[in-house]
Amino acid sequence: MQEMSFRRMSQSGSQGGATMELVTGGAGFIGSHLVDALVAQGKSVRVLDNFSSGREEFLAHHNGGSGVEIVKADLLDFDAVKAAMEGIDTVHHLAANPDIRLGTEVTDTDLRQGTVATYNVLEAMRHAGVERISFSSSSAIYGEASVMPTPETYGPVKPISLYGASKLASEALITAWCGTFGAKAWIHRFANIVGPRGTHGVIFDFIHKLKRDSSRLEVLGNGLQEKSYMSAEDCVRAMVHLVDQADESVNLYNLGTGDTCSVRRIAEIVVEESGFNNVSIEYTGGDRGWAGDVPKTSLEVEYLFSTGFVPKMHSEDAIRHTARALIQEIGL
């Protein structure tokens, strides 16, 4: 069993029996933005993270009285997950392998960090009497959909990556828990989420490539891959909005902006924001960047918009905003 460490970042916490909200993966890219959004609502938050990809600096600004606690533990340690459920009202389950490509190299990564971890979260909730879970799923569950924009009702879904398969399996576990044990769930099928604190993804990769060689930028594939992008800020606003507004036993929504952007255009934006001149953008060829990469995704988001949610940024705006932020964070 792994050792669990517990650290209170503030003194407000769960004193006086007040309920808290648990964010698994709360020190990660999207998770830390969600912690920010919940704290802004006046919520007390407990973060559970093993810090394999999460970073303490993403939460450092909550030091000094903002009601955030950190539990350093792994979701595969069931006893640690059970202990972290004490006093929790709602679980926001974001912890997972953040890199789709990793699953092609270590093939049990998504099974363990995704599906098994989700089972542990659900079973710990059952033991603790916690009945509400908000889950970060992905557009990767759709695979190469024949209908675009792809609605939530599309099927049968056939993921082509181990990451997408794990997310779909986790969705099934969650809906089964709702049907069997009376839990309530919000399942969020993310577009490609981008923003400050990003630790992986195409924009992150492009900036690091330019940092190594400012004269050329290699793009995996032919650059025609086209996907929906959403800012991390809009993503977590949508999550919080849906948990507040949607009231079915299982609430399933695509989260996106209703538009797309090509990898070719992303490369151009990153070069523009880098300030480098005469950069040669070179393509490796082929219709996808790696095994399991879906060449084109476009999410139908009218169901989300019908709840009154409006994104602040569309795909290209979110990409440019992210490029500027990550260039500052990474340094060029």
Report, as residue numbers or ranges, the catalytic residues.
Answer: 163
Asked whether the beta carbons of 270 and 167 are under 8 A apart, the reply is: no
Beta bridge partners of 189: 137, 254
- Rg of the chain (C-alpha set): 19
Q: Which residues pair with 331 in a beta bridge?
A: none
CA separation for the pair 126, 123 (Å, rounded): 5
Number of Cβ atoms within 10 Å of the Cβ of 235: 26
- Burial level of 228, CB count in 10 A (0-12/13-18/19+)? buried
**Nearest residue to 26 via CA among 82, 69, 67:** 69
**What count of other Cβ atoms lies within 10 Å of the Cβ of residue 227?**
22
Total residue length of the chain: 332
List all residues 6 or more positions away from 117 whose beta carbon is below 8 Å from its beta carbon: 24, 75, 76, 95, 96
Please report, as a single letter, which amino acid is at residue 63: N
Q: Cite the DSSP H helix spans in 67-188.
A: 78-84, 109-110, 117-128, 162-181
Sign of the alpha-carbon torsion through 285, 289, 294, 296 = negative
State whether residue 134 is helix, strand or coil.
Answer: strand
- Residue 205's contacts (CB-CB under 8 Å, 6 or more residues apart) are none
Q: Which of 205, 169, 170 is nearest to 284 (CA)?
A: 205
